[in-house]
Amino acid sequence: MSFLNYFVNPPGLKEYDPETFSQKMNEEGSKVVDVRTDGEYSRSRIEPSVHFPLRTLPGATEKLDKTGKILLVCATGHRSRAAASILLKEGFQDVSHLKGGMLAWRKYKKNTP
């Protein structure tokens, strides 16, 4: 994987702010996939989500539905971009990520009644 995959949105990746991400995760066929480390995931996570650390994702794509809506999340948005590159190359059609990652999510949740 190229270092640039962490900073450049691959073609086909949708980017959502926390409010839109929250709406999308409740849509039929959506699955939140957290690509952070085990330690990060154990401290906090978006429920419901499944956990596939970025380093394990290439071997775990068969556990995800290629026709479903995949919503990726990491700490800041960089690893989720890299994960999107992997999934899009594997033929996933509907891939998005949380712009700003868990940092943006926590700020949003703190300011949302």
CA 57/CA 92 separation, integer angstroms: 13
CA 102/CA 51 separation, integer angstroms: 14
Identify the active-site residue in 74, 83, 84, 104.
74
34 among known catalytic residues: no
CA-wise closest residue to 97 among 75, 60, 71, 74:
71
CA-wise closest residue to 1 among 11, 15, 97, 10:
10
CB 72 within 8 A of CB 105: no
CA 29/CA 85 separation, integer angstroms: 20
Active site members: 74
